[in-house]
């Protein structure tokens, strides 16, 4: 069944529910200036969650299920699903890389976003300067 991150957040089965699915906390420094935020991914996407491991032990972690199937041609399978979705435009496939925390930390080299020591003219002064040229 195709689902969405918003549905995964509400799933009744505790094993499959993830209240933070599709969300990351960003903590970056851009040219020495801090920049933080929360990013949500896949809000307008369908998701088919599978496993790359064939395992009876893994299957038993999902109560009520006693079998699984193997997708022999993942690209062909994805293509068939894409053809069945009206107005399909783009797809991705690949493994999820689970982390111990959802915090993404990065130091981005470059100039500061805003140099507080620089002299900034008001928009009216900018307009006056442009009209005088």
Judge whether residue 22 has pLDDT over 50: yes
The pLDDT tens digits for 114-124 are 666 655 555 55
**pLDDT at site 83:** 94
Q: What distance in Å separates the CA atoms of residue 63 and residue 13, rounded to the nearest whole number?
A: 9
The pLDDT tens digits for 53-76 are 888 898 888 778 888 889 999 999
Range 97-119 average pLDDT = 69
**pLDDT at site 119:** 56
Residue 3, φ and ψ in degrees, nearest 5: -135, -165
pTM of the model: 0.54
Q: What distance in Å separates the CA atoms of residue 109 and residue 111, rounded to the nearest whole number?
A: 7
């Amino acid at each position: 069944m195709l689902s969405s991150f918003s549905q995964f957040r509400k799933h009744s089965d505790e094993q499959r529910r993830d209240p933070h699915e599709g969300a990351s906390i960003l903590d970056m420094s851009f040219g020495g200036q801090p920049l933080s935020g929360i990013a949500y991914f896949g809000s307008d996407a369908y998701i088919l969650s599978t496993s790359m491991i064939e395992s009876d032990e893994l299957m038993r972690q999902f109560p009520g299920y006693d079998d699984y199937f193997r997708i022999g041609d993942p690209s062909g399978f994805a293509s068939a699903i894409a053809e069945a979705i009206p107005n399909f435009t783009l797809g991705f496939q690949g493994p999820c890389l689970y982390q111990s925390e959802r915090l993404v930390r990065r130091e981005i080299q470059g100039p500061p976003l805003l140099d507080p020591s620089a002299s900034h003219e008001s928009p009216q002064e900018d307009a006056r300067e442009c009209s005088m040229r």
